[in-house]
Structure 1
């Protein structure tokens, strides 16, 4: 077991940095603490049988830089020496990576810890404010992002450092709230008998909502992909798509408000990922904010909390880079999540 003083020691450069999601993986190499990271093209996880093959082929074979350490963020809980990704068939085996990739040190975090780190690493020029609120620079924060799944994390400030709090909040139950919800909910596709937030608030979740809305309206679905639904909704060319995106945004506001209360996130709520970036106009229409603040008896409390969309295309890598440069600046727990060559 690692001692606390061992956990706080720095990483040997160069450091391979990776943000591994269910659909895409993004990588960079940080040569030293002062350098800008060398970034590589996105890797589609479905194109490679495993992460080691992807790193070797898409990264190491394309550079003369040999990383000595790696900091990876993965979409799933980090536990044990074999780490399964929730929405991808890759399994991360750090001990194998040490041998196969010539590394001496591997740290594996949850992908939304990286997104939480990004809220500190990035400035407001990399974000778009969608709900006003006074905010508190050192207040607790909530991070959530609909993508291949629904990621959730917290970020708290204590003892002069920022501490990311990973979790699986995307799997909380989500039920109907209005009369119209009650008409739509029976048409939603459940998982093992229940509707979780992730079953609605991700790419396939938007499709799930759209099909349910169409079914409730006695219509045949015209679209089968999130991109088609989003485009038609934003262009207002399909009534079912418009209602589906409105419900998606409303449900996102509801769960964002719930999480803001859990964390008392006076520092703000941060929406991340490609879906949030693509639907900013819908997020600004008002139903997100109305659902976010509809938390009686604490409506006024929610009104004081700002909400941002992180618009940086590789925010998680920016967060991981900040951590790799100075691990002691962050309260990232690495016990059981750091593997080193003897």
Structure 2
């Protein structure tokens, strides 16, 4: 898939065009930035089609419409759905693993920045236009205060953005792996069902694509119903078209449980600037998410109900927001070089 409407053929960066990438467990998204804020040549490649990340990068750069724009690229930045704590990266939700330095040499770059995908997405938050985010519920953002970020897709990403005199600092968080905390009898039953498969049930086990499937099976077991073998996209489709009450209840449980984790993040960070919701799942739910119990659960913190009611929550509707973040990170890296 490509973004043919925004192709850019000339480069005004002194060091040439810059490669930007957002690597998830399923898809690898690539783009070229040829001038500040000018991002085009967007293509999405399936991770499963390439043996290594280097192979995927070379496949992207070899695409016919990139022949002129990608010539002589020396700088790149990659956001990846994985902890990045040193030179060696092993993906949690895909088989790719690599040395950052070896990858840099392999693709013949001078500078290659590799960061956690939600660190990059967090860095994008101040740059997301109002038209590319949708507020759910009440609250008003307080300028100059922390922002929180959470997003469900192949996994559950969590981060935050902390302001300082010199700018913003993105948190290197793995908050998706906190222990799941049930809030009612049904969620206790879901947790007990999940315990049959997993010794430790993290938030990510339930608030992700495979998590939706797990919730569906758990609810069927709890209600003594026959469950079909359904993937998350089909569960969501049937919920949205109203053809399956159990699927709709599954999506409702997913949304309310996400509200619990988002509320936890709000009070942990003091995120009075707002909580942003990214990832691949929630934006696709559209108004079903808006009318779910997410916001009610988000505020359900007893004595801190009023505190959370003042914090706005936003669904990120921008198609490729992580590119904004990796662009900012790469620009800082090059400025410091």
TM norm structure 1: 0.88
Number of the residue aligned with 1:244: 250
1:14 aligns with one of 14, 17, 22: 17
1:40 aligns with one of 36, 39, 42: 42
Give the superposition deviation at 1:235. Answer: 2.0
1:108 aligns with one of 104, 114, 124: 114
Deviations 1:35-61 (A, max 9, x none): 612233101111100000011012244
Contact 1:11 1:105 in 2 (8 A): no
Q: Does 1:231 align with 2:234?
A: no
State the alpha-carbon separation in 2 of the partners of residues 61 and 328 from structure 1. Answer: 26
Number of the residue aligned with 1:80: 86
State the alpha-carbon separation in 2 of the partners of residues 180 and 122 from structure 1. Answer: 37
Give the superposition deviation at 1:320. Answer: 1.7
Q: Does 1:31 align with 2:34?
A: yes
State the alpha-carbon separation in 2 of the partners of residues 11 and 45 from structure 1. Answer: 31
State the alpha-carbon separation in 1 of the partners of residues 14 and 193 from structure 2. Answer: 50
| 155 and 280 in structure 1: CA distance in 2 versus 1, 3 angstrom threshold | same
Contact 2:30 2:60 in 1 (8 A): no
Give the superposition deviation at 1:184. Answer: 3.2
State the alpha-carbon separation in 2 of the partners of residues 46 and 93 from structure 1. Answer: 19
Deviations 1:234-278 (A, max 9, x none): 222212111111110010000000011000000000000220101
Contact 2:119 2:170 in 1 (8 A): yes
State the alpha-carbon separation in 2 of the partners of residues 158 and 190 from structure 1. Answer: 45
Give the superposition deviation at 1:286. Answer: 4.4
Following TM superposition, the consecutive aligned residue runs of length 4 or more in structure 1 with deviations greater than 3 angstroms are 10-13, 189-192, 322-329
Q: Does 1:144 align with 2:150?
A: yes
Deviations 1:294-337 (A, max 9, x none): 011111000000000000110111222233345599xxxx9xxx
Structure 1 gaps, min length 5: 1-9, 335-339
- For 1:185-264, list aligned pairs within 5 A: 185-188=191-194, 192-264=198-270
Contact 2:26 2:47 in 1 (8 A): yes
Give the superposition deviation at 1:160. Answer: 4.0
State the alpha-carbon separation in 1 of the partners of residues 62 and 332 from structure 2. Answer: 24
Number of the residue aligned with 1:3: none
| 328 and 40 in structure 1: CA distance in 2 versus 1, 3 angstrom threshold | closer
| 77 and 121 in structure 1: CA distance in 2 versus 1, 3 angstrom threshold | same
Contact 1:17 1:28 in 2 (8 A): yes
Number of the residue aligned with 1:168: 174
Contact 1:29 1:67 in 2 (8 A): no
Give the superposition deviation at 1:91. Answer: 1.3
| 101 and 240 in structure 1: CA distance in 2 versus 1, 3 angstrom threshold | same
Give the superposition deviation at 1:72. Answer: 0.8
Contact 2:139 2:310 in 1 (8 A): yes
Number of the residue aligned with 2:311: 305
Q: Does 1:52 align with 2:58?
A: no
State the alpha-carbon separation in 2 of the partners of residues 46 and 295 from structure 1. Answer: 42
| 174 and 190 in structure 1: CA distance in 2 versus 1, 3 angstrom threshold | farther
State the alpha-carbon separation in 2 of the partners of residues 189 and 59 from structure 1. Answer: 45
Give the superposition deviation at 1:191. Answer: 5.9
Count of residues paired in the alignment: 321
Contact 1:23 1:148 in 2 (8 A): yes
Number of the residue aligned with 1:4: none
Number of the residue aligned with 1:5: none
Number of the residue aligned with 1:277: 283
Contact 2:31 2:43 in 1 (8 A): no
Which deviates further from its counterpart, 68-77 or 301-310? 68-77
